[in-house]
Every structure is written in structure tokens, then in C-alpha cells.
A = this chain, B = another copy of it.
Amino acid sequence: MRITALAGGVGGARFLRGLLHHVRTSQPEPVELTVIGNTGDDITLFGLRVCPDIDTLLYTLGGGIHEGQGWGRADETHSLAGELAALGAEPQWFTLGDKDFATHVYRSQLLGRGMPLSAVTERLSARWGLGELGVTLLPMTDTPVETHVVVAGDGDGEQRAIHFQEWWVRHRAELPAERFVVAGLDRATPAPGVLEAIREADVVILPPSNPVVSIGIILGVPGVRDALRGTRAPVVGVSPLVGGRPVRGHADVCLRTIGVDETSAGVAGLYADFLDGWLVDEEDPMPDGRGLQVVRRPLLMSSVEAAADMAGAALDLGLRLRAERAPA
């Protein structure tokens, strides 16, 4: 069975780890999971290319994640960053541990030699044993893409654009955002295998990643949305909102910024042209409708098992929709 998922960082990674756990414990059929990771968060820091979402996926699925943070490496040291601070190097608002730095040094070296990001990601995936888990991790594109946030200037009325990470990490999404601008997205092409993975999947899953700055960016890669509309696989999503708020992250702020209701219905509207099934929280007032099958259940990923239950419910919904569609 081929499952394809679009994913951002922490939420997506935890959900997909749950999915693998569910599949391992409850799914008799072998599963191939292809994960299409958001690269709009990518940033060049200290001359090194950092791919926060891809790395969170690698570390979480590969067993190296810092469990408490949800990002970065477990048992991490911070000598290098301390020394960079002593050198006065900027920025100092983005935490990078020593082991994590190795990923960025290695990636930057290979990119510098002309290797595409997808090939670099394949190497990193091998280090984390993703192949043995049946997982193929693809960046959404090999084209460098960066999400920027247009914010009000420093009292002078002039707007300015800052990197998404600066807005998200440094300003904790508290700096009022006018809009998101994704540099490079219009000329990006899907990384090798991305469109095929969507077209040839048995089920496509959207984890509860940020619908604007994670899934929304992947959907903006030319060809991806068309592939989702055209795939014969049912597309099943998990709402990132519980009681109108994200469990983690700032999805509500992002939705407000693009003028969309901070509700599961609002998010589903962003996916309306291809979404077939939608998992929402048990208290969610989201109504069924217009060909969208809504399923209610608790949406808290408080443990790997809880995430596995949630992912299992999404997969079951997808498989049910697929069975209903199958030619008689």
C-alpha cells in the first residue's frame, strides 16, 4: 500500500511517526510511505543551508529528535553556537546545536558541489534509516524557495519583508503580518518523484501541519495542486485546529493573515478542490457537506500511541473512501 503525505515540521513529523507506529502494529499489508516535506522554511544561516522541516522529519522519524522541543537533536551540545556568539556572528535568535550543525555543514557541502536537495535528502535519509522504515522523504522542490513575511516597518509606515524564520522564531509570530511572500515559488518545479507519489498513491494524507506556511507552501509548487486534484487516491486531511486554536504553532495567526476563518471549516476550504475526508476534533462544529466526509475524534498527539490512533483513524477513513470508490 502506497501512502503519500504532505508535511511541515513538528506536527507533521509527530503525526507521521504515529502513522508508522500504527502501520507497524495494526496494518497487515506492507506500507510504502512517501513524505513530501515543506522547504519554504529553509534559511541560510552562517552560510549554511538549514531545512528546518526536512530536518525535523528526519530526526523524528529516525529516532534522533529532542522529544521535549519537538525539533533539534536529543543529547545536544551547543559549543559552536556559543563560539559564534563570541565572534559576534548573527543571527543569535536561531538555536543550532552541534550535532544539528553537522547536518547543515554536510548538506551545504553537497549543495555546493551541485547536488540537488532531493539527492542530499536521500543521503540524510539513509543516515537515519528511513529506507528500513519504508519511508521515502522528498523535499517538495529542489528549487531554493523561501517564505518571507511582510510586516509593518519600525514606526515609519514602510513595510518590510523578513524571513519566515525571523518572524516565527525571533518574533514568535507576534509581529503583525500583512501577508506571506514565497520567493522562488512561482518558478519552482516539484522535486523528482513528488507528482508521481501523489498520482500513484493509494491514499494521500495531509497531517495537521500548518495549512498556510507548511501545507499551503507545498500546494503552491506548480503542479502539486493539479496532481492532488487529479489523483485517483482519496485525499484525507487532519484539522490542525482544536477548539479554534492550533495545539501548537501559530496556525490561527497565519489563517488570520490570509483572511481565512480560524476554524476547521476555514482550513478545509483551503483544500476544497481536492479534499475527500476530514478528521476534526470531537467537539468541532464543522458540518459535513459537498462531498466531504467529516469524521470526529480526539486530536491530541500527547504520545506516540495517541498520534498512532489519530493517524490510524485518518488512514482508515482514506481506505474506506478508497473502497467506496473502487469499481464494482
Q: Which residues of A contact B (CB under 8 A)?
A: 46-48, 76-77, 79-84, 86-89, 97-99, 101-103, 105-106, 108-109, 112, 123-124, 127
Contacting pair A123 B87 (CB below 8 A): yes
Contacting pair A89 B109 (CB below 8 A): yes
How many identical chains are in the complex? 2
Q: Which residues of B contact A127 (CB under 8 A)?
A: 86-88
CB of A276 to closest CB in B, whole Å: 39
Closest to A104 in B: B105
Contacting pair B102 A47 (CB below 8 A): no
Q: Which residues of B contact A123 (CB under 8 A)?
A: 87
Contacting pair B99 A80 (CB below 8 A): yes
**4 tightest CB-CB pairs across the interface, nearest first?**
A83-B102, A47-B109, A79-B98, A83-B99
Closest to A97 in B: B79
Contacting pair A106 B79 (CB below 8 A): no
CB of A124 to closest CB in B, whole Å: 7
Given A46-B109, A112-B47, answer yes or no on A124-B83 (Cβ-Cβ < 8 Å).
no
The answer, among B77, B79, B80, B102, for a CB contact under 8 Å with A84, is B102
Closest to A81 in B: B102
Contacting pair A48 B105 (CB below 8 A): yes
Contacting pair A46 B106 (CB below 8 A): yes
Contacting pair A108 B77 (CB below 8 A): no
Q: How far is the CA of A47 from the CA of B115 in the complex (A)?
A: 13
Q: Which residues of B contact A109 (CB under 8 A)?
A: 46-47, 89
Closest to A75 in B: B79
CB of A74 to closest CB in B, whole Å: 12
Q: Which residues of B contact A83 (CB under 8 A)?
A: 98-99, 102-103
Contacting pair A106 B124 (CB below 8 A): no
The answer, among B89, B97, B101, for a CB contact under 8 Å with A106, is B89
Query: 4 additional contacts, CB 8 Å, given A80-B102, A87-B103?
Result: A47-B105, A47-B109, A83-B98, A87-B106
